[in-house]
Amino acid sequence: MAEAITPRSKDYAQWYVDIVTHAKLADYSPVKGSMVIRPRGYAIWERMQSILDDLFKETGVQNAYFPLLIPQSFLEKEKEHVDGFSPEVAVVTHGGGAKLEEPLILRPTSETIIWSMYKKWIHSWRDLPLALNQWANVIRWEKRTRLFLRTTEFLWQEGHTAHATREEAQQRTLQMLEVYRHFAEDYLAMPVLTGIKSESEKFAGAEYTYSIEAMMQDKKALQAGTSHDLGQNFGNSFDVRYQTKEGTLESVWATSWGVSTRLIGGLIMTHSDDRGLVLPPKIAPIDVAIIPIFRSNNKAKVFEFAQRAQHDLKEHGLRVFFDNDESTNPGWKFAECELSGIPVRIELGERDIDAGQFVLVRRDTLEKETVAKDALVARIKEILVNMQADLYQKALTFRKENTYEFTDYAQMQHFFNETAGGFAQGLWCGSAQCESKVKNETKATIRNLPFSLNQHPHQGKCLICGEKASHKAVWGRSY
Amino acid sequence: MAEAITPRSKDYAQWYVDIVTHAKLADYSPVKGSMVIRPRGYAIWERMQSILDDLFKETGVQNAYFPLLIPQSFLEKEKEHVDGFSPEVAVVTHGGGAKLEEPLILRPTSETIIWSMYKKWIHSWRDLPLALNQWANVIRWEKRTRLFLRTTEFLWQEGHTAHATREEAQQRTLQMLEVYRHFAEDYLAMPVLTGIKSESEKFAGAEYTYSIEAMMQDKKALQAGTSHDLGQNFGNSFDVRYQTKEGTLESVWATSWGVSTRLIGGLIMTHSDDRGLVLPPKIAPIDVAIIPIFRSNNKAKVFEFAQRAQHDLKEHGLRVFFDNDESTNPGWKFAECELSGIPVRIELGERDIDAGQFVLVRRDTLEKETVAKDALVARIKEILVNMQADLYQKALTFRKENTYEFTDYAQMQHFFNETAGGFAQGLWCGSAQCESKVKNETKATIRNLPFSLNQHPHQGKCLICGEKASHKAVWGRSY
């Protein structure tokens, strides 16, 4: 570890960049706004993909792959969609040495190309529902970019389903939101607010957009995943109709939903500390590192014991890294383990071997303990379970401690403009005017209307304008 | 199965398109040359990815992800590389509503962007070797396209390694070629010739290109994977130097290697027949289909038995599909199984249940057999092993029967121009003139100089010009 990480207290934004670059998760590329995902960062993405892919398939989703290049005219078929995405597309004008007859855009999202294919594939109620997902790169021309959080090219999954009825599409939209909540909370240990977005924050082309929203350590919000009920907008725009059992023709109902490599940024900003990455065990590419402490005269003994431990741990399904590099010292290796977020490290020297024990250090708390040889596997598994639960609880407590209820707008303004901020919850009348007033005056936006706060209609007044309000919103400044 | 598949004997090219489209592996997209990979096709690609990814990682390769967009000037840094790829690039000229200062190309391959990053990451012998792979889409503007075999956008993996010495780069090049051979022969059941490409057929920017070459059922060749020894070409072009242990500065040695979704086309054309796909069990997404034969009065009994069988087979690690659709009849389902290449199907009716037996049909031979209930799992596993081996042997025999040795060029011309062709092997002087003469006069190209035919230097004469020849080449018309 050549360079030190800037402490969060000193410069949070620089701390984040330091973590990403020093832990070798990603790097800047020669093309502004495009990033390179390095092996350690990509290994986290692979874990995310593998878990999500299984969760999707359990709900009957199949994977497919649709083209990167989309005719420019397709974007224009859905009015709100084109308004939302036109400003951020990249355009291919030349191919194979010649100017193209029609320019092609690089997909910013794939509703249009996919619904042009659904038009070919969907004819009858027998063809429905159709639930496809793709793992792909997308391009959105962003002016201000940040590694993982906002880049011109990013990797994501996008699911696109087609249904015979409005109800079925609504159910699928909420089902996938629940998959995202489950993944965020139970794997990433990242508590999220699930809820519906406001009109002005919804996806361009959706009837309703739902999201999961997390709080980062700087108390800002991160939209970590979205699920859209697209109504019949794309069915109508692409003229996708199906014959019902009764023989009538109906327009098809749609959903789409996605999460991206942005989740890696969220993961970092939820758990990591000034020493480096902290990864929840369920998402960590490596569970345990074994660091041998040896001199030339006992190297053989220490290595043999370490290798036997590595073998045992692997046998029990743990992902183990034995750091047998002889050109670096143990202190350097300890720091590397901390930087790269390996949940448990074993510090193994001759004295421990002779005493029949192992020294374990848990990454998040840095607690050190000694465990007897025979208890090693069980104890490590226990630590991993505890660490997963503790990281979630810690993040949840942090969010709760930094969430305030407001009934007075002046107080909320003060909260965002004069304090370190957090989440503000309060009643909202539903008007875009109040929403944009808050945004202009505090830079805070409505993250969503959380289900948990809206299980029953509220009776009260909008905290901004004082008019009748029936929903409670959560505001925050966001990434 | 609505439409019949054109028989191979009638129109081989149409047979191939029919298989791909009727089995719903892929479809044409609205953008000429771009294809849509449908769930059944993508499931095959996922199997390929999963197997190859494990094989790569076993050799110490790590995955990463590099940007799609590459500055146009990068391509120009390596002279042969730019000559080879310039005619087929797609160019992005506008982004975010404005004209770009420098046009960006969509990666046709990623040597240039990756070596621009290696320049940042490689400084010392400690940083070597570096072995990264990415799973990505690439774009090459192709005039004539065919589903899977040649498309403007395709999915592939590209490995890029950096080494301290020429010998290490050479070893890695051959190691990855061997991984490809192993994968093609032992998983895809596709026999391949491994060998070195001629100067004129090598990768633009490589010192040496090696390939695996397979024979399709129409006796044409398919280049199924390549591994390139790039020498110091990219190290020099991107000024990537490392400090040796002795303190001197040396240019870095490179390799790259890739296989693509083209392999799906090769897989189809190696094994499939006029009824549909035939998939080697190791690559088939589903091993066994259970087709219930029932009337309304015994449906419950048949379904219950079928579900128990499904459960048993799954318990033993088999991938099972129970076709419980009630809107189609068994005959239609049998045809679907054959079309989609499921290796074994179980035809299960009440009579079989009462007799305590199952009727099995093996996809490649269509052999039907009856097996006692208790022997089901073991027998299916046996059939899968046999089928895997038999498909390989059948393809190998086909290649051998259609490979001829020539010492007379007139005979070889006749072979390619007047007969159904195949592979021609013979001595070659190594000159580009003889190579292009054959190409012009027969449309056949040198596939490679197979290792198996060149274990010792030959002493003899070039079959084209009669000059001294030391290598044996294999010619074929190719995809």
Nearest neighbour of A63 by CB, restricted to B42, B74, B136: B42
Residue B45 pLDDT > 90:
yes
Instruction: Calculate how close chain B gets to A140, using CA atoms only, in Å.
Output: 8
**What band does B91 get if pLDDT is binned at 50, 70 and 90?**
very high
Residue A187 Cα to chain centre, angstroms: 11
Per-residue pLDDT, A367 = 97
Region of residue B170 (left: phi > 0; alpha: psi -120 to 50; beta: else): alpha
The residue among A412, A430, A411 whose CA lies nearest residue A469 is A430
CA distances from B203 to A34, A150, B18, B211 (A): 27, 36, 32, 10
| Total CB pairs under 8 A between chain A and B | 160
| Number of residues in chain B | 479
Per-residue pLDDT, A172 = 98
B183 residue type, one letter: F
Return the residue in B21, B22, B31, B152 with the most chain A beta carbons within 10 A, the one to mutate for interface testing.
B31
Per-residue pLDDT, A82 = 87
Structure pTM?
0.97
List the beta bridge partners of residue B361.
Answer: B345, B368
**What band does B81 get if pLDDT is binned at 50, 70 and 90?**
confident
Return the residue in B40, B44, B68 with the most chain A beta carbons within 10 A, the one to mutate for interface testing.
B68
CA pair distance A69, B106, nearest whole angstrom: 11
Residue B331 pLDDT > 80:
yes
CA pair distance A133, A229, nearest whole angstrom: 16
Question: What is the Cβ-side half-sphere exposure of residue A105, based on CA atoms within 13 angstroms?
Answer: 26
Q: What is the CA radius of gyration of chain B?
A: 25
Strand ranges inside B107-252, DSSP E: 130-139, 153-163, 193-196, 208-215, 221-231, 241-243, 249-251
The token pair that represents A427 in the structure block: 């009643």
What is the interface pTM, i.e. ipTM, of the complex? 0.96
What is the DSSP code string of B371-397?
EEGGGHHHHHHHHHHHHHHHHHHHHHH
Per-residue pLDDT, B2 = 53
State whether residue A130 sits within 8 Å of chain B by CB: no
User: Could you tell me which chain B residue has the CA closest to the CA of A105?
Assistant: B92
Which residues of chain A carry a pLDDT beneath 70?
1-2
Return the residue in B28, B92, B115 with the most chain A beta carbons within 10 A, the one to mutate for interface testing.
B92
Would strands A423-428 and B62-63 be described as parallel, antiparallel, or unpaired?
unpaired
Per-residue pLDDT, A1 = 44
The token pair that represents A221 in the structure block: 């919000």
Instruction: Calculate how close chain A gets to B52, using CA atoms only, in Å.
Output: 15
A157-185: per-residue pLDDT in tens?
Answer: 999 999 999 999 999 999 999 999 999 99
Query: b/e for B179-201, b at 16 or more Cβ within 10 A?
Result: bbbebbbebbbbbbbbbbbbeeb
The residue among A265, A257, A227 whose CA lies nearest residue A134 is A257
Query: What secondary structure letter does DSSP report for A71?
Result: E
Q: Is the CA virtual torsion B370, B371, B373, B376 positive or negative? A: negative
Cβ partners under 8 Å of residue B173, min gap 6: B208, B210, B227, B228, B229, B255, B257
Per-residue pLDDT, A3 = 73
Q: Give the angle subtended at the CA of A348 by the CAs of A347 and A349, to the nearest 5°.
A: 125
The residue among B287, B275, B242 whose CA lies nearest residue B120 is B242
Instruction: Give percent of chain A with pLDDT exceeding 70.
Output: 100
Per-residue pLDDT, B79 = 85
List the beta bridge partners of residue B211.
Answer: B195, B226
CA pair distance B422, B420, nearest whole angstrom: 7
CB contact under 8 A, A91 and B88: no
**What band does B166 get if pLDDT is binned at 50, 70 and 90?**
very high
State whether residue B39 sits within 8 Å of chain A by CB: yes
Q: Which of residues 63-102 of B touch A (CB under 8 A)?
A: 63-71, 74, 86-97
Residue B270 pLDDT > 70:
yes
The token pair that represents B467 in the structure block: 């000059």
Determine how many CB atoms are found less than 10 A away from the CB of residue B457: 9
Burial of B124 (0-12, 13-18, 19+ CB in 10 A): exposed
Which helix (H) or strand (E) segment holds residue A105: the answer is strand A98-106
CB contact under 8 A, B92 and A87: no
Per-residue pLDDT, A2 = 53
3-state SS, residue A359: strand
* Relative orientation angle of helices B262-271 and B39-58, to the nearest 10 degrees: 110
The token pair that represents B468 in the structure block: 């001294």
Q: Which of residues 283-342 of B touch A (CB under 8 A)?
A: 327
CA pair distance A251, A232, nearest whole angstrom: 6
Instruction: Give percent of chain A with pLDDT exceeding 90.
Output: 95
State whether residue B143 sits within 8 Å of chain A by CB: yes
